[in-house]
Amino acid sequence: MLTKKQRDMLTLIIHHVEEYGIAPSFEELCAAAGLKSKSGIHRIMSALEERGYIARLHNRARAVDILRHPDGSAYVQSAAMVSIPDASLAPAPDNTTTVIDIPLLGKIAAGTPIAAISDQSNTMPIPEHMLGRGEYFALIIEGDSMIDAGIMDGDTVIIEKGDTAQNGDIVVALLEEDDEATLKRLRRKSYSIALEPANSKYETRIFGPDQVKIQGTLKGLIRQY
């Protein structure tokens, strides 16, 4: 039996996961619950975990698996797919199992940039209903600079190919001077481009508009447990 605070907190977490595809941060929970201290959030989260309503990976930000609804019934969700919200990736209403092979181009850094992606030899099967009409490719994440956006080391990200992006999108950015690629959040500031991490251990990097080439935008990710 949950207390009212525990029930309300679990409901907040479920709504956030179903809307955004990732669990809320402690800061977001504090704001949503009207609390000033993270310690209160921590106590409620620990109680939910002890009672078997959630499971947490304590060394990873936002890593929460919902196990039960507030009424105690089982919470059903995919253990392998965590999607970034996007209408083009919404599950189809039917149960089609048609898959499309998209290029798996190797690893990309979510940390210090690594050599530019270039491996064209492998492919990855993706359910057709997860993809829109664009051109897609997949990359394996290496590093932890985007963990607060729910993107972990070892995840596979699904990228829609394109050379433009909206301010605030998570993008694959090619740093042309060093021929390196990285996954970061894009911020345009006046005549410069900022590539923002989602981990306080890393600094935002600023480039001139001619130093960064957008390769595509993040549309989803796959995580194996």
Architecture of domain 87-222: Ribbon (2.10)
Burial of 141 (0-12, 13-18, 19+ CB in 10 A): buried
Q: Which of 9, 53, 49, 55 is nearest to 32 (CA)?
A: 9
Q: How confident is the model at residue 117, as a pLDDT?
A: 63
Q: Which of 131, 140, 142 is nearest to 102 (CA)?
A: 131
**Which residues of the chain form CATH 1.10.10.10?**
4-77
Q: Over the stretch 29-59, which tens digit does the pLDDT of each residue have?
A: 888 877 777 778 888 888 888 888 887 765 4
- The average pLDDT across 146-154 equals 89
Q: How confident is the model at residue 194, as a pLDDT?
A: 93
| Average pLDDT for the chain | 78
- The average pLDDT across 95-118 equals 71
Q: How confident is the model at residue 183, as a pLDDT?
A: 93
Task: Give 83-136 as a DSSP string.
Answer: PPP-GGGSPPSS----EEEEEEEEEEESSS-EEPP---SEEEEEEGGG--SS-E
What percentage of the chain exceeds 70 in pLDDT?
79
- The average pLDDT across 107-136 equals 74
Q: Report whether pLDDT(195) > 90.
A: yes
Q: How confident is the model at residue 113, as a pLDDT?
A: 57
Q: Between 62 and 110, where is the model more confident?
A: 110
Q: Report whether pLDDT(109) > 60.
A: yes
Q: How confident is the model at residue 114, as a pLDDT?
A: 54
**CB–CB of 110/144 below 8 Å?**
yes
The domain over range 4-77 is classified in CATH as 1.10.10.10: yes
Range from 25-29, 45-49, 87-91, 151-155 carrying the lowest mean pLDDT: 87-91
**Which residues of the chain form CATH 2.10.109.10?**
87-222
- The average pLDDT across 49-70 equals 73
Measured between alpha carbons, how far is residue 115 from residues 29, 132, 154, 176 in Å? 37, 28, 17, 11
Instruction: Tell me the pLDDT band of 75, cut-offs 50, 70 and 90.
Output: confident
Residues near 205 by beta carbon (within 8 Å), at least 6 away in sequence: 184, 194, 195
Catalytic annotation, residues: 145, 184
Token pair 């965590």 is found at 82
Residues near 193 by beta carbon (within 8 Å), at least 6 away in sequence: 186, 187, 206, 207, 208, 209, 211, 212
What span, in angstroms and rounded, lies between the C-alpha atoms of 193 and 106?
25
